[in-house]
Amino acid sequence: MSVKIAIVRWRALVPLVLLLAVLVGGWMLLADRLGRLALERGGTALLGAKVEVRSFHFSLGQGDVTVRGLVAASPFDSLKNLVEADELAADLDLLPLLEKKVAIDRLAANGLRFGTARTTSGFVPSSGTSASAQIMANVKSWAAQPALQVPILQLATGKLSVDSLDPRKLQTVQAAESLAARADSSRRAWTAALDSLNAKATADSAVAFAQRLRGAKPTDLALLRDARRMVDRVKQTRDRLTALDRGLKAGAGTLDQGLASLQAARRRDYDFARSLVRLPPIDATAIAWVLFGPEAVQKFQRALYYTQLGRAYMPPGLLPHPHDGPERSRRAGTTVEFPRASRPPGFLLRDAELSFLLSADSSGPRRYSGRLQGLTSAPALYGRPTTFAVRAPTVSADGMFDHVHAISRDALGGTVRGVMLPAIALPGLPLRVVPGRGDVSLGFALYGDSLRGRWTVRAPAATWQRDSNVAGGMAADLLWRVVSGIENLDLTADLGGTLSHPELHVRSNLDQAVSDRLRSMIGAEVDAAESRLRVEVDRFADEKIVPLKTQVAGLVAEANGRVQQGRQALDAAQQQIEQQLRRLTGGIRLP
Amino acid sequence: MLILKLLQSLAKALHSEGTPGQVALGLALGSILGLTPLLSLHNLLVAALILLLNVSVPGATLGWALAIPLGFALDPMFDALGRQLLLGTPALTPLWTALANLPVVPLSNFNNTVVLGSVVSALLLFAPIFYGSRWAVRRYRETYGERVRGSALYRAVTASRLYGIYRLFRPGT
């Protein structure tokens, strides 16, 4: 017997309806809490820093959302907020919610404040794969490019670098050693020549011959002929000695020239020693770069981060756009948006009125107003760029994020006049400038990947502060002496080039003053270092030159002495022979 | 406690008055709950089906409990499959675009790689789980069922108060 089984369990309808009712009731009860959590989680993921909300209220009947106490932390400074808002009131279109889309017709943001302090860190652990984490990593690597790196240590130490002097590299030493070798060679050559000439032996044999002539007779013609020959031999020897003397003098002259050339080599060694003194950069245009470059890079880095965030979450075109999935215990995955022409975008804020506070002067913060239009996740669907504008007597700011077309164009800029400007710390030094009340402006544009940016600070009553707990070294002392007397600060940083090849130029009114002072300070140090090196060069050179001079002088004197002695011996011998010949021949010259 | 609940589910499912087909359908539907992220719109539909259709709720509970760790373990595969379907198959883009701009459908989070990948996988596994578990339940009841029912362990497990709650939702005939 087969049993018929019912397909539907009708008695479960009641629990099912009850379950649905519980779900709906729970949603109504928890909608505000869920909305707050969604806003905090979504905002945190989008910004890359903590977003907190004090209260969130969603009125389904009227389509109103009210957010109170919104705090968005800065992704760059853990103890600062990017923005705080007292209240955000939004009018929602309800129908797009069925498509999981958020369309806000009008939003009123009241009590916006920027850069406020916070007591807890606003950083969030980086997941590494989120868009904001990747953009942060990209922006940091952009700022770490060599073109944007400031040579902090070169100016921070401000010290001369003096390489050690290697005597083997000195030309004077090399030339002196070569000359000593030549002197030795000359000595050997001259000694050999004088020895081979042997003038003394010739003179001695001539004297001996003259003794033989004393006992000779005038008829001894053979002896007389030999006497004539001996005289000729003596003369020849003297002529050769004279020639040798000329060669010796020439050689001695060459050695003297060699000694003289050592002075020229010494001058070249002085130049070489001077090249061992390495100067820190004292180019005037480099001063502002060194002092304010990091701050300028930081400003542009932040602007680039927010611009890139905009590009990531407001992509051009209608292609599927992937982004991180929602946080949950299971893997988040990737959620892909599929924009469709003529359909509303996933997120659209048509018009927002902004009311914010800025500390303008001692009378307290002033309230300003601005407008934000066309903020959307699919600019191509909205068809117009996102714009914002703030106009007030002392504040003006504009921004445009045009992602409607394939090549995105982002530009933002703002000027604030007569406000208290934040202090700027000088990199690697225990010094900082407190600009006080002044004007500041920042402009940044990113067209495709072309960069344009300018950051200016004008502060007529700047003051300088030094951290007395940190020594800082010579550079800090030097800079403190220079800048502590300068009251106005006029700073301009220009950014250009492309994302991959940025160019940054920074200039300020401090450049020339610091440069001049550095030159004078470093000039004295250079002189002292060069003097020390000259003494070292002299010491190494004199170790070789002084004995060489003695060696050459001794050599020449010895050679001259031997020549002189030979000549005198030969003259005396010739005189004796000729005297005997005259006695024998009676002064008659025989054939 | 978790293991006890699992044992209770197992005991209730295998020894309920439901047919092997009811138990198997409950297991297959419950596995969808476990394989896919729970807080998704499609799971509301699955839960409604489990309650409304005359399937074994303990079977569904068991399927759900067994599939949860499997779902966590297979998430990378679901992610890859969903990515391939959503981003790696241009031919499907018009379909996703149309679905994403329909009312209510986007609330299902189908455009999330893990959700889509896990739902597709769960649907593909539905038939094998159903037929496989129906065969297994039938074999169990024919071979070991009676012996287990008479064991002390079974009596201890079914003596729990939870068993009483189960009886409210036991499959009817």
Inter-chain residue contact B82 with A332, CB threshold 8 Å: no
Q: Is B78 at the interface with chain A, CB within 8 A?
A: yes
The answer on pLDDT for A338 being more than 90 is yes
What is the rounded end-to-end Cα distance, in angstroms, of chain B?
31
Q: How confident is the model at residue B134, as a pLDDT? A: 93
Helix A284-313 vs helix A510-585: angle between axes, to the nearest 10 degrees? 140
Q: Is B97 at the interface with chain A, CB within 8 A?
A: yes
Q: To probe the interface with B, which of A2, A328, A337, A338 has the most B CB atoms within 10 Å?
A: A338
Q: Is A485 exposed, middle or buried (0-12, 13-18, 19+ CB in 10 A)?
A: exposed
Helix (H) or strand (E) run with residue A497 in it: strand A489-497
The answer on pLDDT for A284 being more than 70 is no
The answer on pLDDT for B9 being more than 80 is no
**CA separation for the pair A169, A422 (Å, rounded):** 54
Residues of chain A that touch chain B, judged by Cβ-Cβ distance less than 8 Å: 3, 5-9, 12-13, 15-16, 19, 23, 98-101, 320, 322, 325-326, 328, 330-340, 343
Structure tokens at A493: 């940083």
**CA separation for the pair A565, A581 (Å, rounded):** 24
**CA separation for the pair A9, A73 (Å, rounded):** 53
Torsion region of A587: left, alpha or beta (phi above 0 gives left; psi -120 to 50 gives alpha): left
**CA separation for the pair A473, A417 (Å, rounded):** 36
Tell me phi and psi for residue A439, to 5 degrees.
-115, 145
Q: Is B169 at the interface with chain A, CB within 8 A?
A: yes
**CA separation for the pair A587, B19 (Å, rounded):** 169
pLDDT digits (tens, 9 = 90+) for A71-105: 999 999 999 999 999 999 999 999 999 999 999 99
B106 lies in some domain:
yes
Inter-chain residue contact A333 with B112, CB threshold 8 Å: yes
**CA separation for the pair A19, A552 (Å, rounded):** 118
Structural domain harbouring B59:
2-168
The answer on pLDDT for A250 being more than 80 is yes
Closest CA to A345 of B111, B101, B107: B101
**CA separation for the pair B119, A332 (Å, rounded):** 15
Structure tokens at A245: 């003397």
Which residues are bridge partners to A123 per DSSP?
Answer: A49
**Distance between A100 CA and the closest CA of chain B, angstroms:** 6
Helix B57-86 vs helix B41-52: angle between axes, to the nearest 10 degrees? 150
Closest CA to B81 of A331, A370, A96: A331
**CA separation for the pair B173, A4 (Å, rounded):** 7
Q: How confident is the model at residue A49, as a pLDDT? A: 94
B21 lies in some domain:
yes
Whole-Å CA distances, A251 to A176, A189, A193, A242: 16, 10, 13, 14
Q: Three-state DSSP class for A9?
A: coil
pLDDT digits (tens, 9 = 90+) for A256-276: 888 888 888 888 888 888 777
Identify whether the C-beta of residue A293 lies closer than 8 Å to the C-beta of residue A506: yes
Inter-chain residue contact A330 with B72, CB threshold 8 Å: yes
Q: To probe the interface with B, which of A1, A5, A8, A323 has the most B CB atoms within 10 Å?
A: A5
Q: How confident is the model at residue A381, as a pLDDT? A: 92
Structure tokens at A387: 């714009």
Q: Is B172 at the interface with chain A, CB within 8 A?
A: yes
Average pLDDT over every residue of A171-179: 88
Q: How confident is the model at residue A157, as a pLDDT? A: 44
**Which residues have a Cβ under 8 Å from the Cβ of A556 and sit 6 or more positions away?**
A248, A252, A255
Inter-chain residue contact A330 with B53, CB threshold 8 Å: no
pLDDT digits (tens, 9 = 90+) for B40-82: 999 999 999 998 998 988 889 889 999 999 999 999 999 999 9
Identify whether the C-beta of residue A20 lies closer than 8 Å to the C-beta of residue B47: no
Average pLDDT over every residue of A482-497: 89
Which residues are bridge partners to A84 per DSSP?
Answer: A71, A113
Average pLDDT over every residue of B84-109: 94
**Cα-trace Rg, chain B:** 18
B173 lies in some domain:
no
Closest CA to A577 of A266, A62, A249, A204: A204
**Using 50, 70 and 90 to split pLDDT, how confident is the model at A155?**
very low
Inter-chain residue contact B75 with A328, CB threshold 8 Å: no
**Using 50, 70 and 90 to split pLDDT, how confident is the model at A127?**
low
The answer on pLDDT for A54 being more than 90 is yes
Mean pLDDT of chain A: 86
Structure tokens at A390: 């703030």
**Cα-trace Rg, chain A:** 49
**Using 50, 70 and 90 to split pLDDT, how confident is the model at A474?**
low
**Using 50, 70 and 90 to split pLDDT, how confident is the model at B173?**
very low
Domains in chain B: how many in total?
Answer: 1
Q: How confident is the model at residue A587, as a pLDDT? A: 66
pLDDT digits (tens, 9 = 90+) for A28-50: 899 999 999 999 998 998 899 99
Q: Is B73 at the interface with chain A, CB within 8 A?
A: no
Query: What ipTM did this prediction achieve?
Result: 0.84
Mean pLDDT of chain B: 86
The answer on pLDDT for A255 being more than 60 is yes
Q: Which residue among A3, A334, A343 sits closest to B83, beta carbon to beta carbon?
A: A334
Closest CA to B5 of B130, B136, B165: B165
pLDDT digits (tens, 9 = 90+) for B128-160: 999 999 999 899 888 887 777 777 777 776 666
Closest CA to A109 of A82, A86, A92: A86
Average pLDDT over every residue of A367-373: 89
Query: Which residues from B are below 8 Å from A23, CB to CB?
Result: 44
B88 lies in some domain:
yes
Sign of the four-CA dihedral B153, B159, B165, B166? positive
**Distance between A434 CA and the closest CA of chain B, angstroms:** 51
Q: Least CA distance to B17: which residue of chain A?
A: A5
Inter-chain residue contact A19 with B47, CB threshold 8 Å: yes
More confident call, A570 vs B5: A570
Q: How confident is the model at residue A282, as a pLDDT? A: 57
Query: Which residues from A are below 8 Å from B48, CB to CB?
Result: 16
Q: How confident is the model at residue A527, as a pLDDT? A: 77
B68 lies in some domain:
yes
